[in-house]
Structure 1
Amino acid sequence: MSTINYTIERPAEDQMDEAVRPTELEAVRPLPRISVHAFCESEAMLRTMERCGQDRRMSKASLRISSASIAAAANMFASAPTPNLLILETSTEPHGIMEELAPLAEVCDPSTKVVIVGRYNDIPLYRDLIRNGISEYMVGPVGMAEVLNAMAAIFVDPDAEPLGRTVAFIGAKGGCGSSTIAHNCAFDISNLFQTEVILADLDLPYGTANIDFDQDPPQGISEAIYAPDRLDEVFLDRLLTKCSDHLSLLAAPSMLDRAYDLERGSFQPIIEVLQRSAPVSVLDVPHAWSEWTRTLLSEVDELIITATPDLANLRNAKNMLDALKKLRPNDKPPHLVLNQVGMPKRPEISPNDFCEPLGIEPVAIIPFDAQLFGTAANSGRMIAEMDRKSPTAETFSQLAHIVTGRATIKKPKKAGLGKMLGLLGRK
């Protein structure tokens, strides 16, 4: 009998054997901290469970996978406690399954949930299993989405408040304007949809959200990071700064009085509280690649990479997309925003040539406009506040729709990108 252990998320090493549509998993909520042990008889089931272990929705769960039968499970747990969930694959015919389960039932803890994956679509068998305490019976072969949905149905309270959506913005290179786009997008989401939004500035030493919104909060995200035992919705509310009717800011200290050497899970408690506190949380992630950024980017709902059209940004964006595909094997690719396009006298890569090697289309192309962005930054205002009818404000509005799932992604058109882009073809 061979056993594989999974703890927290880990990147997939191989390509997926089957295509999983991200839409099949969008409704699956993250599983709580539970222990799961799967006993697989077939290679297909073994691969399915391995892929479950690589999914971000199981980042808190501890998963063990054994290539073994139900009888082996009974032998194992005769001298060891059973986990929160057992997933058992069997090829036994319907009339023999209850007999096969009998030895395991004698050693199984009363609180342990059991999911059976069989080969027969038999309604009397299903009713018999449910009547005898089995949580779910599925007819194999099963896909990853089916297994995750079954686990979520058992352990996630259907009456619980829905979790808020987490949207992370990160730059392919320093200075590409990711923070500015994150702040404007957060402002537009709160204004356009009249929904509560929390903007969290995760760049502790150099964050600019407080400047961009003309705020000087006495406390913010560092108090939450360094006091995780106090962190709850009430404590978070004390740390938030109101920026508008529906937008609150969790500001970075933006001070260099200490070294911010953060651990892998430093932001996890904060993200969990944010999800319970607001329908949308916008995370302004600094341009870095560390254990905590990798963990954070692997677990958020939506990812937006901002890049400017030069070679270094292209290389970095390609590397990030490749890495994130391994970290998030069952999610759609991150969105790409091309920023500062059409800067005078700067040689740059055309949007088409930039995106071709990446294999994705940009969801927004934002022209270089030093006057508009500079004035907004220096006055502590957003683009929509400066000129709501400008093409750039319109682009931010479209981006707000896309990242919240309220609009389909369309290829950016030249007409909506401002006069700067219209001039590119004539240079």
Structure 2
Amino acid sequence: MNAIDYEFEDGAQSAQAPSDKSVAGDVEALRPLPRISVHAFCISDGVHHVMQQCGGDRRMARVSLRVTRGNIAAAATMFASTPTPNLIILETEAGPRELLAELAPLAEVCDPSSRVIVVGRHNDISLYRELIRSGISEYIVSPFSMAEIMGAIASIFVDPEAEPLGRSIAFIGAKGGVGSSTIAHNCAFGISTLFSTETVLADLDLPFGTANIDFDQDPAQGMAEAVFSPERLDEVFLDRLLTNCGQNLSLLAAPSLLDRGYDYERGAFQPILDLLQRSAPVSVLDLPHTWADWTRAVLSDVDEVVITCAPDLANLRNMKNMLDALKKLRPNDKPPHLVLNQVGMPKRPEIAPQDFFEPLELEPVAIIPFDAQLFGTAANSGRMIPEMDAKSPTAETFSQLAHLVTGRAAIKKPKKAGLGSLLEKLRKK
């Protein structure tokens, strides 16, 4: 099998192992916060650091966050002459008896619609109840994690009755021609068939997208209408743009025409991606190999990122640069999933998998051998790999990848000889 071992867990909420206690695992279940204004007043370095962390998280992208060094008295002074935001976060060292008195001046200048979270030092249930009775929205004991404060904000401003947001998965290549689109299309097909889950495959490569070819479709409308007519976007319009590719798979196809220039603003794809998250349980996004403001915006906002590469030096350099860039764009998320494709191409000098991934300090989630016959026949006939040969190792790899990116599998820690044994298998072919 050309992939790392997996432990399948249907219904699992995260692709991480249950023992993972990282910040990324804690915040993954949180929904993006709505467009609100938040002003935090911090007196300690720890709380100030956590609030700054929150400001860099993609789930806070729509939040206008301001972090100020100061206590409750400083907040009261400031808001005596300026409007109060939707949420005020106040850190205090006051004891239970002094805290309510300390809050009194702020209550006189605070807008009735503004909510308040107090961060204190005392774990006192009586104090908590008294603060809630006094109109405080939440009381958190310091120290706390970024996930805790974001969860508290979400409990105030996110409607618990709202429909759950769908999972978004972006696929991009470390270099052109490495097969990222093929992997994205097969993964979308696998998700829709394996789990009977409504899945939308969105081809974001408007001039050169191949999703319509790979699924043998020729739709009259698709992604171009969604991107260039954002004012018309709603569920009804989206339904008209989608092309049915199977029982649970719909395609938002690229026009693949060169009748115009395809230049986008940073947030050009955001309206359609937001609508897809509200409309479909899973959205698979096929991104072109380009690095622009709009691709950075998409990659920073999705739930999962899969990067495909081939075993050569240019791919290694690009992969390292992309990992570094995504770490800055997604500081509180898991690293991207790495797929090594086209391994074992005849007569092509290659970097061995263990040598390729050692400087990246990440293990691949899949290693896919070069198979021109299988992939070429599938592409020319408009079919997916599992349709061509459902029992092939490559089809099994796509099945495992579908489990992983949807949160239905946890990666087991690879054995030391894992990549070595894969290489032996590849050499025998």
The aligned residue for residue 234 of structure 1 is 236
SS in 1 for 2:409: coil
Aligned mate of 1:392, from 387, 391, 394: 394
Q: Deviations over 1:322-377 (max 9, x none)?
A: 11111111111000000000000101011111110011111111110001100100
Letter in 1 for 2:93: S
Aligned mate of 2:190, from 182, 188, 194: 188
Give the percent of matched residue pairs that are identical in Structure 1 and Structure 2.
73
The aligned residue for residue 406 of structure 1 is 408
The aligned residue for residue 128 of structure 2 is 126
Q: Deviations over 1:59-80 (max 9, x none)?
A: 1111001001111111111111
Mapping 1:201-212, distance limit 5 Å: 201-212=203-214
Mapping 1:5-404, distance limit 5 Å: 20-404=22-406
- Aligned mates of 2:417, 2:282 — CA distance in 1: 30
The aligned residue for residue 3 of structure 1 is none
**How far has the Cα of 1:141 moved from its partner?**
1.5
- Aligned mates of 2:390, 2:426 — CA distance in 1: 24
- Aligned mates of 1:64, 1:362 — CA distance in 2: 39
**Structure 1 residues 415 and 104, CA gap change in structure 2 (3 angstroms):** closer
**How far has the Cα of 1:320 moved from its partner?**
0.4
Higher relative contact order (CA 8 A, sep 6+): 2
SS in 1 for 2:168: strand
**Structure 1 residues 412 and 256, CA gap change in structure 2 (3 angstroms):** farther
**How far has the Cα of 1:424 moved from its partner?**
4.0
* C-alpha contact (below 8 Å) 2:166/2:279 kept by paired residues: yes
SS in 1 for 2:411: coil
Cα RMSD (Å): 1.9
- Aligned mates of 2:106, 2:170 — CA distance in 1: 45
* C-alpha contact (below 8 Å) 1:55/1:329 kept by paired residues: yes
* Residues matched between the structures, number: 408
- Aligned mates of 2:361, 2:97 — CA distance in 1: 51
* C-alpha contact (below 8 Å) 2:369/2:426 kept by paired residues: no
**Structure 1 residues 411 and 254, CA gap change in structure 2 (3 angstroms):** farther
- Aligned mates of 1:408, 1:319 — CA distance in 2: 26
TM-score (norm 1): 0.93
TM-score (norm 2): 0.92
**Structure 1 residues 68 and 40, CA gap change in structure 2 (3 angstroms):** same
**How far has the Cα of 1:290 moved from its partner?**
0.6
- Aligned mates of 1:368, 1:21 — CA distance in 2: 37
**How far has the Cα of 1:233 moved from its partner?**
1.4
The aligned residue for residue 7 of structure 1 is none
**How far has the Cα of 1:21 moved from its partner?**
2.7
Q: Deviations over 1:246-281 (max 9, x none)?
A: 000001111111111101111111111001111100
Letter in 2 for 1:372: L
* Structure 2 unmatched ranges of 5 or more: 1-20
- Aligned mates of 2:278, 2:413 — CA distance in 1: 34
Q: Deviations over 1:130-180 (max 9, x none)?
A: 011111000111221111111111111111111000000000000000000
Deviates more, 1:230-239 or 1:112-121: 230-239
* C-alpha contact (below 8 Å) 1:164/1:279 kept by paired residues: yes
